[in-house]
Amino acid sequence: MATLVPLAAIDPALVDQLLDTAFGEGRHARTAYRIREGADWLEALSFAALDDEDYLVGTIQLWPVALTDPKGRAHPMIMVGPVAVMPGRQGEGFGKALMAASLGAIDAGFEEGAAPLPQVMIGDPDYYDRWGFIADHTQGWHCPGPYEKHRLLARSGNPAILPDEGMLGPWNS
């Protein structure tokens, strides 16, 4: 059984070690890192999973980003990821628990009457569609680096608000 805690309660060096193990030391060159460059992750929406022996086995970070449309208007969004689970512990439900915690925190605001910001991620569409992440609305979007268009996914309670075109980057309010 996983114990979820705020990511801020975990030593950042342990988080970096987990991310290096899960994604490789070259992870900083990935497009997702360029999209959120210079931004700080959102503490209220980011979590860590600990196993029964209190070892760090997974993390999820969410970030403020924006899709800037061709007219220069920034449309704020939340970027989900990285979602990381230690190799050898994948398939035990840690990633699902982390996704449920983060998306539940986002959706709780909606239940209280505030519409949540759309969420975006680069990930496996066959895995993340269970949470409503799809590529249907992102085909005219661009990223600062290489990516596979079918892996750029968005989740929104009202897809009609999503711009048809734009460039993803950090949200600097």
| pLDDT tens digit sequence for 22-34 | 999 889 899 999 9
How far, in Å, CA of 63 to CA of 85, rounded? 18
172 or 130, greater pLDDT = 130
How far, in Å, CA of 62 to CA of 64, rounded? 7
Residue 48 is assigned to a structural domain of this protein:
yes
Contact by Cβ (8 Å): 65, 78: yes
In this predicted structure, the answer to whether residue 17 has a pLDDT above a threshold of 90 is yes
Closest CA to 120 of 4, 35, 49, 5: 35
Token pair 């009202």 is at which residue?
158
Query: What separation, in Å, do the N-terminal and C-terminal C-alpha atoms of the chain show?
Result: 38
Instruction: Compute the mean pLDDT over every residue in the chain, rounded to the nearest whole number.
Output: 93
* Per-residue pLDDT at 124: 96
3-state SS assignment for residue 169: strand
Q: How many domains does the chain have?
A: 1
Residue 62 is assigned to a structural domain of this protein:
yes
Query: pTM for this one?
Result: 0.93
Range of the domain at 90: 1-168
Of 76-85, 105-114, 145-154, give the lowest mean pLDDT range. Answer: 105-114
3-state SS assignment for residue 92: coil
* Per-residue pLDDT at 2: 79
Token pair 């987990």 is at which residue?
18
Residue 131 is assigned to a structural domain of this protein:
yes
* Per-residue pLDDT at 4: 97
Q: Side-chain half-sphere of 172: how many Cα atoms within 13 Å?
A: 7
* Per-residue pLDDT at 39: 93
Residues present in the chain in total: 173
Residue 173 is assigned to a structural domain of this protein:
no
pLDDT digits (tens, 9 = 90+) for 40-50: 999 999 999 99
Q: What is the CATH number of the domain that holds 137?
A: 3.40.630.30
Residue 114 is assigned to a structural domain of this protein:
yes
